[in-house]
Structure 1
Amino acid sequence: MAWDSGQYLKFEAQRTQPARDLAARIGREGVRDVLDVGCGPGNSSRVLAERFPGACVRGIDSSPEMIEAARARHPDLEFSLCDAGKDLGKLGQAFDVVFSNACIQWIPDHPRLVRELLGLLRPGGVLAVQTPMNYDEPIHTIIAGLVAGEKWQGAFKRPRIFYNLRPGQYFDLLADVAAGFDLWQTTYYHVLPSHAAIMEWYRGTGLRPYLGALPEADRAAFEADVFAQVIEQYPKQRDGRIIFRFPRFFFTATPKVA
């Protein structure tokens, strides 16, 4: 199923805030070249252009739909198709900052990936990464339970694989491959107007692999089963709105000197 930039951008402010928070933690000065890995529709690339005025910001993504949207929305920035899981070595240049906001969870083999990302940096450069760490939150446990349950278990021949490591594993990896690094986690409390808004949010990201694996005739039924449990597991506040917790994990790292 192709990425839908319009669906993704329905919650642009909330999805962009972690990118702003991560960019603010990058202390590097004199930045000339910035790479945004998994740039999506360019919202994170715009954050980087604002954070590093005058720098050349290049966004890459494996989705033609996202690259098309990024070019239309941000014509002053550079965007190109690139599968970060396979083709980083073809970029042909070094960068002062390599940035990735909510992308690496879709890419396998993080020990290899992190090494490759660090390898794109000039001496003194900074790798800055944010990835969702929300797999214990209700929306994920609901979907996992349905996929494994009697009604739907035969419908998903290739269940989604979550490629993220645990925080301690990232610590051990970065201790081996980086000159220095910082790790932290932030839980965002997004305030959404309704339970339906949670479904709208996840149609743009986490539900995509499941809906894409189903025949079109079954998608509405699967969403209805998810929605019924979302109503049960996300209580309304007194004013009727919903708190949608979203933990995200961050790290910054600098490359070792050869």
Structure 2
Amino acid sequence: MSTGAPAHDWSAAQYLKFEDERTQPARDLLARVTLQSPKTIVDLGCGPGNSTAVLESRYPDAQLKGIDSSPDMIRKAKATLSHREFAVEDLTSYSPPGPVDLFYSNAVFQWLKKDERFEIVKKLMATQPTGGVFALQVPDNLSEPSHVLMRETAENGPWAATLSTVGRDTFQTTQEIYDVLKPVSSRVDIFHTSYYHALESHEAVIEWVKGTGLRPYLDPLGPEEKEGFLQDYLKRLQGAYPVSVDGRVLLRYPRLFVVAVKK
């Protein structure tokens, strides 16, 4: 879920408001992992432990550890799966104590600097045995209205100067991913899925992105600016997302999946 130390801690409660929707990609990623009985698994950016629970349900006998840079996320994960090991770790400096059969990462690597992402993946894969798997999933939504309008709101208000450096790097293309992983992999599978989340309202869309993508925009603002930002952003969302026949709003959410098998 999170990687390096953030300016403000992530909120497990906010993230889990949409637990089922956020966990489905974790299930879909694991469905493409063909390992039968890995001995060691590390959940990179485990968040509140929802992805770790998915891993445990399939591999109950594995030595399973979750790491995340967010103390609040790790507290929640420990409370949910007290019999498993969790630790506050920064992914950019993390090094496993021994070989890991499966590295698994649900929605983490998009937060890293672009030039660091696959250097970290390759560094961790170098610790894996032949046949080990590195599986990751990231949102691919920077061109979706939810995120385009987030940036437009940031650029067109009294908070523009404060938020001028906020944003995340674009992710590598599928060709770039394949070319960087294939030299160290016997197989690289890449796939893409768009989820359509039927949320209660436009306000619910804001609640969704508050848990992840909107957070870097809101954290630097004071209470009044934050309220003004959210009001402006809501108006833009209302113009971009139609209301469905049942009153709900469909939030399209594309995600990119990568499963690499160590050579």
Aligned to 1:105: 110
Aligned to 2:187: 180
1:7 aligns with 2:14: yes
The more displaced of 227-236 and 112-121 is 112-121
Counterparts of 1:96-135 in structure 2, within 5 Å, are 96-108=101-113, 109-135=116-142
Counterparts of 1:148-163 in structure 2, within 5 Å, are 148-149=155-156, 151-162=158-169
Over the residues paired in the alignment, what is the CA RMSD in angstroms? Answer: 1.4
Deviation of residue 151 (structure 1)? 4.0
CA contact (8 A) 2:110 2:168 kept: no
Distance 1:226 1:120 in 2: 44
Distance 1:55 1:200 in 2: 35
CA contact (8 A) 1:3 1:65 kept: yes
Aligned to 2:73: 66
Structure 2 unpaired stretches of 5+: 1-7
Aligned to 1:82: 89
TM-score (norm 2): 0.92
Q: Deviations over 1:219-250 (max 9, x none)?
A: 11111111111111010111111111000000
Q: How many residues align?
A: 254
Deviation of residue 152 (structure 1)? 3.4
Work out which of the residue numbers 204, 209, 212 in structure 2 matches 1:205: 212
Deviation of residue 128 (structure 1)? 0.6
Deviation of residue 28 (structure 1)? 0.8
TM-score (norm 1): 0.94
Deviation of residue 166 (structure 1)? 2.1
Aligned to 1:94: 99
Deviation of residue 154 (structure 1)? 1.1
1:252 aligns with 2:259: yes
CA contact (8 A) 1:106 1:163 kept: no
Work out which of the residue numbers 12, 22, 26 in structure 2 matches 1:19: 26
1:99 aligned partner, one-letter code: Y
CA contact (8 A) 1:127 1:253 kept: yes
1:39 aligns with 2:25: no
1:228 aligns with 2:230: no
Structure 1 unpaired stretches of 5+: none
CA contact (8 A) 2:159 2:221 kept: no
- The percentage of counterpart residues that share the same residue type is 39
Distance 2:157 2:183 in 1: 43
Work out which of the residue numbers 189, 193, 196 in structure 1 matches 2:200: 193
The more displaced of 47-56 and 162-171 is 162-171
Distance 2:50 2:157 in 1: 40
Work out which of the residue numbers 209, 215, 218 in structure 1 matches 2:222: 215
CA contact (8 A) 2:138 2:257 kept: yes
